[in-house]
Structure 1
Amino acid sequence: MYVSRSETHQQVKKRKGRRMRRLLALNLTMLAIIGVLVVVWFVMGDNPAAPPGHANNGINAEGSKSPPGDEEGDTAHEPPSRTEDGNSAQNEPEQKPEQKPDPDPAPDSRPSPEPDPDKPSGVDPGTPGKDKDDKASGGSDQGDNGSGGVIPDPPVTGETIRLSFVGDILLAASVDKLMQAKGYDFPYVKALPFLKEPDLTAGNLETPITERGIPAADKKFVFKGSPKSLPALKEAGFDVISLANNHTLDQGVEGLLDTIGYLDEIGLPNMGGGSDDKEAFQPVILEAKGIKVAYVGVSRVLPVTEWKATKNRAGVAESYDSTQAKATIRSAKEQADLVIVMVHWGIERADNPDKNQKQLARDYIDAGADLVIGSHPHVLQGFEQYKGKWISYSLGNFIFNKTKLPKTDDTGVLDAVCTKEGSCSLKFNPMRAVSSQPAPLVGDEAKTLLAHLSKISLNASVDSEGNVRAKE
């Protein structure tokens, strides 16, 4: 059939009109659906136009969830060319010990209390007793409403690391005899939960470990430990050991180098001593939870000048002058997130730090240290905060020979929960050594020891749970 051009044009126009109406209807339908979805999204989802401070689904404006043995004395300045260890001359009156050492052993009849795994208020350091299989290789304290004058530290937020510290560890003399009779793990048995659970645990080894060597001359107390004692030390949970003290060279350079060699054999990092000053000052850098921690070991207690490590002589990293220690700290700060200084210093049996301890601690912190941990006095000394960084002046004896002075048995494990930025919260877990075996204190005994620590602390307090906090 013939169809004219005009008829064909009209038919085409009609078809186009019908098609346009269908497209228009379809577009309107789609727009309506989109409009409904937008309304639903605004009602049910996060509203980016919400006013500041408005929370949606528990998220605040910042995007975070809404809060729900007796031994040596100190040398006052440079170590003399030769002195009797334990009877060094004191040129500064304020550095004289308050009580003279009494080296005679005495039987110990104290009962061993059971562990009390209390946790610090506001900071959870972990549950004592957890095995430390995942330990790494290679703060905040809530105020005590009843104490007054206490400044709560800012709460620790983000990823944290739990670092633990103990004082002097002697693996010789009467302690060695105990270990031979009862097993090399005997000293650690009752403190194990507090040593194994933290991310990193450190202590000061006050014993050369060697089967040879020449005993130091003109020294009252000379120690020598067996290599057999070291595996138990590592298995107890220790991750790093300082050798910067006044006994590391009791068996001469041979003893020092043997000690380093035996520690290296079992894979226990150490610092503070070496074949020269570069090695002695070299920090140990460990990592846990993505946080790098540098440990620096130095000593301000040496019996003779010849114990100092130099460019051409093996020895100990010394800190009678803080220059080299500060350079080491600054360098370590460039390599690690946290810098810990473990320092041997102070006066034996003294409850309070001397002026050298206070000045050195400040020097270290000014150089970049985040935490300063002291040893050598053989008794506990208090805490102090300087520029937001904590100083523990002495953690006393941890494993040592028995003495007639009861307070040398008082000890403990210090926990520091630290952020990557260097903010730390401290908790002291009180213990008492019975037959050279530290055991946690509970009840009134724990409170009494913690109250003593609080009393001797400088501008800081220690509450009944062991939490350390700054005062006004």
Structure 2
Amino acid sequence: MTGCADGSPDRRPQPSRPSPVPSPSAPPRLPLVLAVHPTRAAGLSADPALLGHVRSGRQLTWQQLGGTGGVARVVRGPHAEDSGASAPSDTDAVLAVQRDPDTVAVVRADALGPGVAALPVDGRDPVTDPRGYPVTVDAEAGPGAVATTLWTGDIMLGRRVGIEIAASGDPALPFSRTARRLAAADLTVGNLECALSRAGPATQGGDSFAADPASLSGLREAGFDVLTLANNHLGDFGAEALRRTVSSARSAGFTTVGAGENLTAAREPAIVRVGAVRFGILVFNAIGETPAAGPTSAGAVRLRMPPRTGPLSASDLAALETSVRALRARADVVVVCPHWGEQYTHRPVAAQHTVARRLVDAGADAVIASHPHWVQGMELYKGALVAHSLGNFIFDMTFSREVQQGVVLELVFWGAKAMAARLLPVAIGTRHVPYFLEPAGSEAREILADVWRTSGEPYNAL
């Protein structure tokens, strides 16, 4: 991964993949997969024999996949053995799954996208490990380069989290149970919701968050590449502390985005390379409290919108749309990360849908948001993923179960095409240290159900 916004060199080698790479003379092949609705995917898997049975036209039950329920409706695309001339296209088969959670599609992997989930076969994931996956079919082209990206919710390293770090003497303590997985991704992005300086007076009383700059080494060990800074706590200790926070993070090797010493600097996108693919990231704060960056004043990019900063500002939104369109010309994948919404609810406010769709219309490939401290729903709009809130990742809140839960969003790309969107549930444990939950466990299912209940199409199938 190369950070282009600040010129930082490659920090991390591309992860090695154990599967053999076909020789250049071998004809291209792609995985043949079982695609299911995202709300049913947790804990499901298959083996080559079962996939072969389904491919040849035999009946499939959800129990055979490790789930619950009766007989699944199977839609076989043109690459299944018995599909015949009247078979639906792979695209239509995928759409059938998105419309009906009781459907399983047999399709070639290049038809996948973030609206469905492909099951592992023999423990091999067809999206992240297409060359090691055991069942393949002829294709016009191979999968190309695979890039795995991880996006976390709010990271607050001050207050009681900071006390635990100081007591342990280990800046990596907050990441001790998640670092291996975070660092294995090709690109890892998190929202840093605290200052790294106390250069001025606290502006939010006991809710003013500042962490020791030494805590950045823990973020580095955990594999974070980009820190988004446009949030309502970056300015908790004034303008000089904000400037020092940006400087400290960049000096530590992070690409930062969303805040700076003036509006021009704050609006500068993060552009990072994963192999040949350029990922462009923009961020804005719709909550307030941190000052809005001005022509000559430090702050964060701001969008005024409900529920916190007034009615939706046409001029602010137009400026963001201009930024998205400009970034579209510089990046292969464009992601916008808002800090928005109502706290302590799973339900997005109406303005979130409005703004997200305007950003996608301007050229965003995904909108991945933070602030509510609870997980919120997702939706697809014109093929672009909108995740309204990932909840907390590292925080010292303990007053409800929901503030100690969140999701890490895994977006997997083949080249610049989004192939999968997976929610990895997390819980915050003792000493405010988060950990990944077993995907099929009861708490993980509870968190995912909270997401699905307030989601839009195609994730609203519960």
Instruction: Indicate the TM-score class for this superposition, using the shorter chain for normalisation.
Output: 0.5 to 0.7
Q: Contact 1:120 / 1:427 at 8 angstroms: preserved in 2?
A: no
Q: How does 1:177-256 map to 2 (within 5 A)?
A: 177-182=163-168, 183-216=170-203, 221-256=207-242
Calculate the TM-score normalised by the size of structure 2. 0.67
Cα deviation, residue 327, structure 1: 1.1
Cα 1:210–1:444 change in 2 (3 A) is same
Partners of 1:149 and 1:281 lie apart in 2 by 44
Question: Following the alignment from structure 2 to structure 1, what is the Cα–Cα distance between the partners of residues 100 and 281?
Answer: 36
Distance 1:231 1:167 in 2: 19
Question: Is the Cα–Cα contact under 8 Å of residues 454 and 460 in structure 1 kept in the other structure?
Answer: no
Tell me how far apart the structure 1 counterparts of residues 172 and 31 of structure 2 sit (CA, whole Å). Answer: 44
Task: Note if contact 2:374-2:402 (Cα within 8 Å) is conserved in structure 1.
Answer: yes
Counterpart selection for 2:457 from 456, 459, 466? 459
CA distance in 2, matches of 1:207, 1:270: 13
Q: Which amino acid aligns with 1:155?
A: L
Higher mean displacement: 152-161 or 170-179 = 152-161
Measure how far apart 1:220 and its partner are: 5.8
* Residues 295, 314 of structure 1: alpha-carbon distance in 2 compared, 3 angstrom cutoff: same
The one-letter amino acid paired with 1:453 is: V
Q: Deviations over 1:402-446 (max 9, x none)?
A: 321111111131100124344342001111101311112122222
DSSP 3-state at the match of 1:460: coil
- The higher-RCO structure (CA 8 Å, 6+ apart) is 1
Corresponding residue for 1:159?
145
Residue pair 1:167, 1:398 contacting (<8 A) in 2 also: yes
Counterpart pick for 1:310 among 294, 298, 304: 294
Q: CA RMSD in A?
A: 2.9
Query: Which amino acid in 1 is paired with 2:347?
Result: N
Task: Confirm or deny: 8 A CA contact 2:235 2:299 kept in the other structure.
Answer: yes
Structure 1 residues 403 and 145: CA distance shift in structure 2, 3 A? same
1:330 alignment partner, SS class: helix
Q: Secondary structure at the match of 1:377?
A: coil
Change (3 A) 1:145 1:459: closer
Name the CA distance, whole Å, in 2 between partners of 1:165 and 1:432.
Answer: 15
**In 1, distance between residues paired with 2:386 and 2:221?**
28
Inter-CA distance 471–390: structure 2 relative to 1 (3 Å threshold): farther
> How many residues get paired?
335
Indicate how the Cα distance of structure 1 residues 330 and 419 shifts in structure 2: closer, same or farther if over 3 A, else same.
farther
Percent of paired sites with the same residue: 30
3-state SS of paired residue (1:190) = coil
The match for 2:311 is: none
CA distance in structure 2 between the partners assigned to 1:303 and 1:66 by the alignment = 50
Q: What is aligned with 1:5?
A: none
1:58-457 mapped onto 2 (5 Å cutoff):
64-65=28-29, 143=97, 147-148=101-102, 154-155=111-112, 157-182=143-168, 183-216=170-203, 221-303=207-289, 307-320=291-304, 321-435=316-430, 436-442=432-438, 443-457=441-455
Q: Following the alignment from structure 1 to structure 2, what is the Cα–Cα distance between the partners of residues 196 and 394? A: 22
**1:77 corresponds to which residue?**
none
Which segment is superposed worse, 315-324 or 236-245? 315-324
Q: How many Å apart are 1:121 and its aligned residue?
A: 7.1
Letter in 1 for 2:112: P
How many Å apart are 1:240 and its aligned residue? 0.2
Match of 2:14 in 1: none
Equivalent residue number for residue 39 of structure 1: none
Q: Distance in 1 between matches of 2:338 and 2:324?
A: 13
> Are the counterparts in 2 of residues 194 and 413 from structure 1 also a CA contact under 8 Å?
no
CA distance in 2, matches of 1:188, 1:198: 15
Structure 2 stretches lacking a partner, 5+ long:
1-24, 33-41, 47-90, 114-142, 305-315
Tell me, yes or no, if the aligned pair for 1:150 and 1:471 is still in contact at 8 Å. no
CA distance in 1, matches of 2:330, 2:279: 9
- Which secondary structure state, in structure 1, belongs to the residue aligned with residue 207 of structure 2? coil
Change (3 A) 1:419 1:65: closer
Considering only CA atoms, is the larger Rg found in Structure 1 or Structure 2?
1
CA contact (8 A) 2:424 2:436 kept: yes
User: In structure 2, do the counterparts of structure 1 residues 283 and 177 end up closer, same or farther at CA, with 3 Å as the change threshold?
Assistant: same
1: CA distance between counterparts of 2:417 and 2:273?
14
Residue by residue over 1:343-390, the C-alpha shift from the partner in whole angstroms, topping out at 9 and shown as x without a partner, is 100000011110111111111111111111100000000111000000
Work out the CA distance in 2 between the residues paired with 1:64 and 1:215.
60
State the AA in 1 paired with 2:199. Answer: R
**Residue type at the aligned position of 1:446:** A
Deviation of 1:286 (Å):
0.5
**TM norm structure 1:** 0.66
Whole-Å separation in 2 of the counterparts to 1:258 and 1:178: 23
SS in structure 2 of the partner of residue 335 of structure 1? coil
What's the CA shift for 1:452?
2.7
CA contact (8 A) 2:196 2:248 kept: yes
Q: SS of the residue aligned with 2:337?
A: strand
Q: CA 1:148–1:248 in 2, change beyond 3 Å: closer, same or farther?
A: same
Separation in 2, partners of 1:280, 1:186: 30
Residue 471 of structure 1 and its aligned partner are, at CA, apart by 6.7
Residue 234 of structure 1 and its aligned partner are, at CA, apart by 1.3
> Offset at 1:395?
0.5
Greater mean deviation of Cα atoms: 221-230 or 253-262: 221-230
Matches of 2:363 and 2:245 in 1, distance apart?
29
Question: Which amino acid in the other structure matches residue 283 of structure 2?
Answer: G
Q: Deviation at 1:64?
A: 3.7
